[in-house]
Structure 1
Amino acid sequence: MENWFMLSMVGKDRPGIVARLSASLCRAGCNLGESSMAALSDNFTIMMMVHWEGTQEELTGVVQPIGDNLGLTFNIHPVPGKLEHNRQPDIRVSIYAEDRKGIVEDVTTALADAGLNILHLDSNFDEEPGSPKPTFYLHIEGTLSKGIEPVEKALDALCEEKRMNIQLIPVSPGIK
């Protein structure tokens, strides 16, 4: 039986977290699958698929000392999965706007209504000297369920109504 778990960890960022975590899990007999890792301000977060022949409780016993040693809190959830479930995006969208409350809601709601399943979202802001407000940016990758035209229309409306600068890039073959 294939036992896959989603392991998420978060804590203060510092060099060596990924190397020490992956080495410890490998030595314990884990096989690592898909993962996503990011530094957010002074914090580091990890989500990874872990194949483990034992139970969730046994995996917790493996991860607990690693988390304690690295100063990371963690959660483990059983998930159905295999390494080949990695989905590739159809499109990439980059959005830049004057920072304000509600940008992420505006964009993600419009894209969801247009049939985009978001696989990855990265956001941040840059403070530009002399600018009254920072520039907020979103970089989104996703898969289309209704084709590209509804997404294009949603992005055009956001450009016009919310004064956003938007770039849409088809990345999957056949998307025009």
Structure 2
Amino acid sequence: MNFFLISLFGKDRPGIVAEVSKVLYDLGLNIEDSSMTRLKGEFTVMLVVSCPEDIGEEKIMSMLKGVGERFDLYVACKKLPKDWEKEYEGKEIYRIVVSGADKPGIVYSVSKVLSEKGINISDLRTERRGELYLMLIEAESQEDRFDELKQDLDQLKSILGVDIHVERDEEAVL
């Protein structure tokens, strides 16, 4: 079994997901993981697909070419190494919510704290709702860093003037 990371992006319009998923289905690919979202009028698609050994990047790109041209999408495809899943097993998962007034440096400041602790960001979303800035992070660590992370983020929230809530995901272990 092979795994590929596929990324597409372009102006948002109806039919992108249907057309992309049809091509993948017709090729016999299975969508394992996906993230699809609109950002300021642009639609982004990131997928991890699994497929039989006889299908390669060239075949996938060739089949997605028509969809890319029809919707004016940028398309990329990358084969993942065979052992890619082993790197993500048995990790602590943290969920972090940052909210407050929007200002430059929030993403940098929070991500710097995580990086210094050796904590990896697996998902990060930001959204501005009027004057409210919202950042949602899912992060993971090989070691239990919860208490020190909570302490550092508590210090950071007074520096940034935002609210930061962090919790350990007791249910999920990758």
When normalised by structure 1's length, the TM-score is 0.83
After TM superposition, what 4+ stretches of structure 1 lie above 6 angstroms from structure 2? 82-89
Which of 150, 157, 171 is the equivalent residue of 1:159?
157
Note the C-alpha offset of 1:55: 2.4
Q: Deviations over 1:102-140 (max 9, x none)?
A: 11101100122133211100002122xxxxxx2222100
Partner in structure 1 of residue 63 of structure 2: 62
1:28 paired to 2:27:
yes
Note the C-alpha offset of 1:84: 6.7
1:47 paired to 2:46:
yes
Instruction: Structure 2: give runs of 5+ residues left out of the alignment.
Output: none
The equivalences for 1:135-150 within 5 A come to: 135-147=132-144, 148-150=146-148
Which of 95, 100, 106 is the equivalent residue of 1:97?
100
| 8 A contact 2:9–2:43 mirrored in 1 | yes
Aligned-partner Cα distance in 1 for 2:140–2:83 = 20
Q: Secondary structure of 2:165's partner?
A: strand
Aligned length: 168
Q: Secondary structure of 1:137's partner?
A: strand
Identity of aligned residues (%): 27
Q: Deviations over 1:79-115 (max 9, x none)?
A: 1258977778722111013211111101100122133
| 8 A contact 1:8–1:47 mirrored in 2 | yes
Note the C-alpha offset of 1:28: 2.4
Aligned-partner Cα distance in 1 for 2:4–2:172 = 34
Aligned-partner Cα distance in 2 for 1:160–1:28 = 52
When normalised by structure 2's length, the TM-score is 0.84
| 8 A contact 1:10–1:43 mirrored in 2 | yes
CA gap 1:25/1:89 in 2 versus in 1, 3 angstroms: farther
Aligned-partner Cα distance in 2 for 1:40–1:5 = 24
Instruction: Structure 1: give runs of 5+ residues left out of the alignment.
Output: 128-133
Aligned-partner Cα distance in 1 for 2:7–2:150 = 34
Q: Secondary structure of 2:166's partner?
A: strand
- One-letter code of the match for 2:148? P
Q: Secondary structure of 1:90's partner?
A: strand
Aligned-partner Cα distance in 2 for 1:12–1:110 = 34
- When the two chains are superposed, the root-mean-square deviation of aligned CA atoms in Å is 2.5
Which of 115, 118, 131 is the equivalent residue of 1:112?
115
Structure 1 range deviating more: 63-72 or 147-156: 63-72
